[in-house]
């Protein structure tokens, strides 16, 4: 990344998405310096503006913390696509954009008059990111996509929870977030390809695809080894001891992922590293319940803080389970640029979770430092309309559309 503006400086992203998957992708591109213009429905705007509590601000100008989580570094314009003038504004934005993001159900963009073919006819250099719940085609391609439903359908919940009869969702909408991350990754790849070919194209992903895409070793357990993974709480299915273990007044997490670590662990806590039932990782996995009892008995005399010190001294990877207030007060989090201070137009100073990437040149860290607070509804509408109206030939080019609709 060169300079303070970011690697995508000069790139215009038209964000027609709502809720989380598409907005998260747009926010990632904005974090890299792109100009992201968020199109919202008049009146209520993005669905997440109403998702709460918690809400912040005065009753007549309140903002949801959910919306604030996925819309930094964006401008907002409200457009009613039943109105010809607003459709012309959107057409102008399409012509001026490098990227368009949408996460409607399959067929909605076509009914609005903005099929992928039509968009590329208007702007052959446009990169279109389209995110759905279960894919754009296939026998269930038209299903609505909601994160928890997708977590269940994609098998993630079957592997998460205290046991096979206790399926649990991940504590964040991980399908939405992952599809947004994969989508942004695809957009950057398509922009690189466009630099060579001059042509845009369509990038597609889905909540289902993103969640299956992160099955990792659990996926190959099924496809290669023929084993169906099941939830088993806070312990690793293939490594032991690896998980959450109780101690006096609390718990710690450890990862003993090699023979050398196992030997050091046993030496520190007075265990027999060569005991027959624990002599290899495979045996420790097979005898996990017994191993947990042995380890927790060794940990029982220690408070968590003292136990973590013992583990650190032995070189055993370990940690505690922090609450989010502890996470955001942690100096290590601050040191990684994971907190942003921004000025919101109605709420004033805000602290937001920051982007997870940092870029370095030959000497110093180089990051995009122009972060802006999420916009209020239509905050930039007048300025964007004026910009589009000033485009050369703006009045002459009025494309025909298949049908009208509302975002």
DSSP assignments along 68-94, one per residue: HTS-TTEEEEE--TTSHHHHHHHHHHH
**Six token digits for residue 137:** 């085609």
Q: Which residues contact 215 (CB under 8 A, 6 or more apart)?
A: 155, 222
Q: What pLDDT does 119 receive? A: 97
- Distance from C-alpha of 293 to C-alpha of 296, rounded to nearest angstrom: 5
Q: What pLDDT does 208 receive? A: 98
DSSP three-state, residue 230:
coil
Q: Any bridge partners for residue 14, and if so which? A: 37, 100
- Distance from C-alpha of 3 to C-alpha of 359, rounded to nearest angstrom: 10
What torsion do the CA atoms of 215, 221, 223, 226 make, to the nearest 10 degrees?
-150
Q: What pLDDT does 81 receive? A: 85
Rg (CA), the chain: 25
Q: What pLDDT does 346 receive? A: 93
Q: Domains in the chain, please, with CATH?
A: 12-214+331-389 (3.40.50.10540), 242-324 (3.30.1540.10)
Q: What pLDDT does 365 receive? A: 67
Q: What pLDDT does 404 receive? A: 32
DSSP three-state, residue 277:
helix
Task: Indicate the burial class of 136 (C-beta count within 10 angstroms; 0-12, 13-18, 19 or more).
Answer: middle
Q: What pLDDT does 2 receive? A: 41
Digitized pLDDT (tens) for each residue of the chain, 407 residues in all: 444 578 999 999 999 999 999 999 999 999 999 999 999 999 999 999 999 999 999 888 899 999 999 999 999 999 998 899 999 999 999 999 999 999 999 999 999 999 999 999 999 999 999 999 999 999 999 898 899 999 999 999 999 999 999 999 999 999 999 999 999 999 999 999 999 999 999 999 999 999 999 999 999 999 999 999 999 999 999 999 999 999 998 999 999 999 999 999 999 999 999 999 999 999 999 999 999 999 999 999 999 999 999 999 999 999 999 999 999 999 999 999 999 999 999 999 999 999 999 888 766 766 656 799 999 999 999 999 999 999 886 655 444 444 333 33
- Distance from C-alpha of 134 to C-alpha of 136, rounded to nearest angstrom: 7
Q: Is the dihedral of CA 185, 187, 192, 193 positive or negative?
A: positive
289 is catalytic: no
Q: Among the options 31, 86, 91, 176, which is catalytic? A: 176
């Amino acid at each position: 990344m060169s300079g303070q503006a970011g690697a995508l400086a000069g790139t215009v992203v038209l964000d027609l998405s709502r809720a989380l998957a598409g907005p998260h992708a747009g926010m990632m591109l904005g974090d890299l310096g792109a100009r992201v213009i968020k199109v919202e429905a008049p009146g209520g705007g993005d669905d997440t503006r109403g998702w709460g509590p918690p809400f912040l601000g005065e009753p007549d100008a309140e903002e949801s913390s959910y919306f604030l989580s996925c819309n930094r570094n964006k401008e907002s314009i409200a457009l009613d696509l039943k109105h010809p003038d607003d459709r012309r504004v959107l057409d102008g934005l399409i012509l001026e954009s490098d990227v368009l993001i949408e996460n409607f159900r399959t067929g909605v963009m076509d009914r609005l008059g903005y099929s992928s073919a039509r968009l590329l006819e208007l702007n052959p250099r446009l990169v279109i990111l389209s995110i759905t719940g279960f894919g754009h085609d296939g026998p269930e391609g038209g299903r609505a996509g909601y994160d928890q439903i997708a977590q269940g359908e994609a098998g993630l919940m079957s592997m998460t929870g205290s046991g096979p009869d206790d399926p649990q969702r991940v504590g964040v909408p991980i399908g939405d977030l992952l599809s947004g991350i994969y989508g942004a990754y695809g957009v950057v790849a398509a922009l690189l390809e466009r630099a060579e070919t001059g042509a845009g194209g369509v990038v597609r992903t889905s909540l289902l695809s993103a969640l299956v895409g992160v099955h990792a070793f659990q996926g190959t357990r099924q496809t290669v080894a023929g084993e169906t993974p099941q939830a088993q709480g806070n312990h690793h299915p293939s490594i032991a001891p690896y998980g959450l273990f109780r101690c006096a007044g609390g718990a710690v997490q450890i990862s003993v992922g090699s023979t050398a670590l196992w030997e050091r662990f046993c030496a520190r806590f007075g265990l027999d590293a060569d005991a027959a039932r624990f002599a290899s990782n495979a045996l420790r996995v097979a005898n996990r319940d017994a191993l947990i009892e042995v380890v927790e008995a060794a940990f029982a005399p220690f408070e968590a803080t003292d136990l973590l010190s013992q583990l650190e001294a032995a070189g055993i990877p370990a940690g505690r389970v922090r609450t989010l207030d502890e996470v955001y007060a942690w100096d290590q989090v601050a040191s990684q640029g994971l907190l942003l201070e921004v000025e919101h137009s109605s709420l004033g100073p805000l602290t937001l979770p920051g982007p997870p990437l940092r870029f370095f040149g030959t000497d110093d860290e180089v990051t995009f430092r122009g972060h802006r607070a999420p916009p209020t509804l239509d905050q930039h509408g007048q300025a964007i309309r004026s910009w589009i109206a000033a485009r050369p030939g703006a009045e002459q080019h009025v494309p025909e559309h298949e049908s009208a609709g509302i975002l």
